[in-house]
Amino acid sequence: MNEDTYRKELTPEEYRVLREAGTEAPFTGKYVDHHEDGMYRCRACGEPLFSSEAKFDSGSGWPSFTDPAVAENVGTRTDSSHGMERTEVFCRKCGSHLGHVFDDGPQDRGGKRYCINSISLDFEQG
**pTM for the whole thing?**
0.95
The rounded distance, in Å, linking the Cα atoms of 60 and 48 is 23
Q: What is the DSSP letter of 7?
A: H
- pLDDT tens digits, one per residue of 8-24: 999 999 999 999 999 99
pLDDT at residue 114 is higher than 90: yes
Q: Which residue among the candidates 42, 45, 91, 115 is catalytic per the annotation?
A: 115
User: Does residue 115 have an active-site annotation?
Assistant: yes
CA 90 centroid distance within chain: 7
Q: Which CATH architecture has domain 3-22+36-125?
A: Beta Complex (2.170)
Number of H-type helices and E-type strands within the chain: 2, 9
